[in-house]
Amino acid sequence: MKLRWFWQKLDYIILALLVVGFFVASSLFNYYTQEPGYVKFLSPDETANYFFARHYAESGVISVFEPANLIAEEVVQPRSIRSDHGWLKPVSFLGIILVYGKIASVFGTGVIPYLTPFFASLGILFFYGFVRKLFGRQAAIIAASLLAAFPVYFFYTTRSMFHNIIFTFFLLGGAFFLVYSVGPKENEKTKFLSFKLKASQWWMFLWSFLAGICFGGAAGARSSELLWLAPVLFIAWLFYARRLGLTRLVLMASGIILALLPIFYWNQILYSSPFYGGYGEMNQSISQITKASSNLVQSTVKGNFSQYRAVADTLMENIFYFGYQPYQSLKMFYYYVVVMFPILVGLAFVGGIVFLTRLRRKSIRPAMLYIVSWIVLSVILVFYYGSWKFNDNPDPSRFTIGNSYTRYWLPMYIMALPFAALAISFFARLLSKIVWLKPGVEWRTRSRRLIADGSAFMMTGLVMFFFFIFTVFGSEEGLINLYYNHAIDKANAEAILEITPENAIIMTQYHDKQLFPDRKVINALLTNDTVNASVGKILEHYPVYYFNFAFPEKDLIYLNERRLPNFGFTLELLMRRGRFGLYELKAIEELPAQ
């Protein structure tokens, strides 16, 4: 009896171990790279999100006043942060700041680096439930296991202050609740109004509302993803409009609006519009699209259809703000999908064929919805983000997991995992049929099932192992390399903090993420004359330093004798750290004659 119970609950036991193991493993990077007096991250986006989430948890507000910017004409700021009249504000989406800040206000700011591993672990549960509903029990546990080890999901969970994992958590939660909110075919509108619903039908209304909450949370975490999320949700509504009914649609829309209300509130406070955010280019695009839409309505009312072409051009220019490059998009798809994850591509291809061959045995509507949604979001993601040029890796010729394409394409990768799971199940069953067994009907059936389950387990484990090796050791941005890079950055930062006063301003290009907020930061080089002019003014009130690649002696002489005196200061070397040097800016009393 106990053995039978164990086999019946084996999926849930594996899932529990998977979730707990994932949380522990994905938390280790932050645990070993951070300490109470030194919580730093490897990107300016992460640094800014952590800074504002912590400030929001401690003070209840997001922006921070920087008085030096009243003198320096807004140049005292690190990357991913903007200054408006001295107020530092996020150049970011506010979802992660508000969610993590609110949780940290209850449990303490020490939990902030571990919230992404927590939500990512819950995301695995949502993914399991969603896949089980559409693909079956075995595919669900295999797909959940693959997600837990998938390099992009694991990597950006360890890089815990990016938006993408919290967005994915909400997205998976929305998908989970959506598939369970689809009720029977009959319309329950009159029954709802007369309060004669079955308990299961009440649950469907709750699932609809929670789906809306999750999709609203996803939109708040990364509003730019509405470009594909809105069309996909519209397609889902077209497939299930009758079955969802008006009531559940209203509940879902209410959940979306409720989740977005805090975002609207803080956008209004910070950026003077509920629909604007920290990205100036996106705000400009929203303004242009709104104006174009208004012109479209006016021209339609007047019967002037000649404006349609101009409106279409405006929409195209603002949606593809950084250009539309189809060849580059396909090239990036090749490097960041086919070359980087050949195992996933191969398994998904085989699994897709298996899936299509089984359509005649199952309800075709959910299968078609899944395939259409995957194709639509993949096309939009590939050609939208693929048209951009990201240089997250200092070497633009390298195609590594840390480049932004991988995290932007995470939904596309995830939707391929169930097909990979189907392929593993197919190969496992095929292997069980190839193995010769002696006659004996009952014994043979059980043996083949055991061989199939064992083979699926071993193949899944093997794929997970390859994923793990790639994540940790697979490139110069593997986690092991990032760990050592973080240690070097920490040593540099501690040496700089020790030698500079607390009110110092440090001018640097790439080290702002290690120095801010312990020191005020200017993200610039000495080649920027506009910033140099502001620095000359700041020197009257603050000690200023420069940390970047060390200058050869002849270059330092040139700067001190011919270039920098024009702005009222010179450089004095204080310390060398490998290839880098820390310089103090020395004010000179009189500017040289022009």
pLDDT 10s digit of each residue in the chain, 594 long?
Answer: 455 555 567 788 889 999 999 999 999 999 999 888 889 998 999 999 999 999 999 999 999 999 999 888 889 999 999 999 899 999 989 999 999 999 999 999 999 999 999 999 999 999 999 999 888 888 999 999 999 999 999 999 999 999 999 999 999 999 999 988 886 554 444 343 334 445 556 778 889 999 999 999 999 999 888 889 988 999 988 888 777 778 888 999 999 999 999 999 999 999 888 887 766 666 565 566 556 556 555 665 555 555 556 656 665 665 666 667 888 999 999 999 999 999 999 999 999 998 888 776 556 778 888 999 999 999 999 998 888 777 666 666 678 888 889 999 999 999 999 999 999 998 888 877 765 455 554 555 666 677 777 788 899 999 999 999 999 987 778 899 999 989 889 999 999 999 999 999 999 988 999 999 999 999 999 988 889 999 988 998 999 999 999 999 999 999 998 899 989 899 999 999 889 999 999 988 655 554
- Amino acid 57: pLDDT: 96
Cα–Cα distance between 527 and 533 in angstroms, integer?
11
The amino acid at residue 182 is V
Whether pTM exceeds 0.85:
yes
**Amino acid making up residue 88:** L
- Predicted confidence at residue 247, as pLDDT, reads 83
pLDDT of residue 244: 78
Nearest CA-CA partner of 388 in 336, 438, 350, 430:
336
Positions of E strands within 81-168? 81-84, 87-90
Q: What is the pLDDT of residue 369?
A: 87
Rounded to the nearest 10°, the torsion over CA 83, 84, 87, 91 is -50
What phi and psi, each to the nearest 5 degrees, are found at residue 83?
Answer: -120, 125
Crossing angle (nearest 10°) for helices 164-181 and 151-158: 120
pLDDT per position as a tens digit, 62-94: 999 999 998 888 899 999 999 998 999 999 899
Q: What are the structure tokens assigned to 341, written together?
A: 């994850």
Pairing of strands 580-587, 569-577: antiparallel
What tokens were used for 234? 């519209």
Helices vs. strands in the chain: H and E counts, helices first: 24, 8
- 307, 295 contact by CB (below 8 A): yes
Q: At what angle do helices 342-357 and 410-434 cross, to 10 degrees?
A: 70
Q: How far apart are CA 378 and CA 356, in angstroms?
A: 19
Token pair 């005292």 is at which residue?
76
Sign of CA dihedral 120, 125, 130, 134: positive
- How confident is the model at residue 508, as a pLDDT? 93
274-313 per-residue burial string, b: 16 or more CB within 10 A, e: under 16: eebbbbeebbebbeebeebeebbeebeeeeeeeeeeebee
Asked whether 333 and 381 are in contact (CB, 8 A), the reply is no
- Tracing tokens 């392929």 back to the chain, one arrives at 423
Q: How far apart are CA 509 and CA 29, in angstroms?
A: 25
pLDDT value at residue 191 = 41
